[in-house]
Amino acid sequence: MKCENNVSGYLIRRLIDYGVGHVFGVPGDYILDFYRQLEESPLQLINTSDEQGAGFAADAYARLNGLGVVCVTYCVGGLKIANTTAQAFAEKSPVVVISGAPGLNERRRNPLLHHKIRDFDTQLRIFRQLTVAATDLSETDNGCQEIDRVLAAAVRYKRPVYIELPRDLNASACGPLQTSLPDPPESDGEALGEALDEARRMLGEARQPVAIAGIELQRFGLEKQFLELVEGSGIPFAATALSKGGLSEDHPLYLGVYEGAVGDDSIRRYVEESDCLLLLGAFMTDVNLGIFTADLNRALSISASSEGSAIAFHQYPEVFLADLLHGLLTADLPRRPPASLPGRPASASFIPGDDPVSIKRLFQCLDSFIDSQTTVLADPGEAMFSAADLTICHPAAFLCPAYYTSMGFAVPGAIGAQLARPDLRPLVVTGDGAFQMTGMELATAARFGLTPIVIVLNNRGYGTERPMTDGAFNDIPGWRYSRLPEVFGSGRGYEIRTEKELDRALQEARHNDRELALIEVHLDQDDHSPAFERLTEALGKRVRQSNNTER
* Overall average pLDDT of the 150-158 stretch: 95
* pLDDT above 70 as % of the chain: 93
Between CA 217 and CA 392 the distance in angstroms is: 17
| 403-460 pLDDT tens trace | 998 999 999 999 999 999 999 999 999 999 999 999 999 999 999 999 999 999 999 8
> What's residue 261's pLDDT?
75
Q: First-to-last CA distance in the chain?
A: 73
> What's residue 1's pLDDT?
44
| 262-291 pLDDT tens trace | 788 899 999 999 999 999 999 888 777 776
Is the confidence at residue 59, as pLDDT, over 90?
yes
Q: Which residue has the higher pLDDT, 53 or 544?
A: 53
CB 466 within 8 Å of CB 436: no
> What's residue 466's pLDDT?
77
Between CA 144 and CA 142 the distance in angstroms is: 6
Output b/e per residue, 367-386; b: 16+ Cβ within 10 A: bbbbeeebbbbbbbbbbbbb
Is the confidence at residue 319, as pLDDT, over 70?
yes
Between CA 132 and CA 395 the distance in angstroms is: 27
480 SS3 class: coil
CB 343 within 8 Å of CB 393: no
| Torsion angles phi and psi, residue 263, rounded to 5 | -85, -175
Confidence bin at 529 (pLDDT 50/70/90): confident
β 254-257/314-316 pair status: unpaired
* Overall average pLDDT of the 140-155 stretch: 89
Between CA 515 and CA 450 the distance in angstroms is: 7
171: Cα separation from own chain's centroid: 35
Please compute, for residue 199, the number of CA atoms within 13 A of its CA located in the half-sphere on the CB side.
32
> What's residue 548's pLDDT?
64
Whole-model pTM: value is: 0.92
Q: Which helix (H) or strand (E) holds 230?
A: helix 223-233
How long, in residues, is the chain?
A: 551
> What would the DSSP string read from start to end of 355-408?
SBP-HHHHHHHHHHH--TTEEEEE-TTHHHHHHTTS---SSS-EE--TTT--TT
Strand segments, DSSP code E, in 195-354 are 209-213, 237-239, 254-257, 276-280, 301-305, 308-311, 314-316
Q: What angle do CA 120, 124, 129 make, to 5 degrees?
A: 145
Q: Which residue has the higher pLDDT, 6 or 301?
A: 301
Domains defined along the chain, listed by start: 7-169 (3.40.50.970), 189-329 (3.40.50.1220), 359-534 (3.40.50.970)
> What's residue 177's pLDDT?
54
The number of beta carbons lying within 10 Å of the beta carbon of residue 479 is: 15
| 208-254 pLDDT tens trace | 999 999 999 999 999 999 999 999 999 999 999 899 988 988 899 99
* Overall average pLDDT of the 50-77 stretch: 97
* Overall average pLDDT of the 80-106 stretch: 94
Between CA 126 and CA 122 the distance in angstroms is: 6
| Torsion angles phi and psi, residue 440, rounded to 5 | -65, -10
> What's residue 432's pLDDT?
94
CB 70 within 8 Å of CB 87: no
User: Position 511: which residue type?
Assistant: H
- In angstroms, the Cα distances linking 415 to 161, 266, 500 are 21, 37, 29
* Overall average pLDDT of the 191-201 stretch: 96
| 338-396 pLDDT tens trace | 777 886 666 667 899 999 999 999 999 999 999 999 999 999 988 988 888 888 888 87
CB 368 within 8 Å of CB 348: yes
Lowest mean pLDDT among 149-158, 217-226, 314-323, 381-390: 381-390
- In angstroms, the Cα distances linking 211 to 205, 362, 366, 419 are 15, 31, 28, 33
> What's residue 295's pLDDT?
83
29 SS3 class: helix
| Torsion angles phi and psi, residue 280, rounded to 5 | -115, 110
Between CA 153 and CA 224 the distance in angstroms is: 24
User: Position 534: which residue type?
Assistant: R
* Overall average pLDDT of the 510-535 stretch: 89
Lowest mean pLDDT among 54-63, 202-211, 289-298: 289-298
CB 8 within 8 Å of CB 165: yes
Task: Describe the strand order of the beta sheet including 517-522 as a list of residue ranges.
Answer: 398-399, 374-378, 425-431, 453-458, 517-522, 492-496
Is the confidence at residue 335, as pLDDT, over 50?
yes
Average of per-residue pLDDT values in the chain: 90
Between CA 225 and CA 492 the distance in angstroms is: 43
> What's residue 543's pLDDT?
55
Q: Which residue has the higher pLDDT, 505 or 145?
A: 505
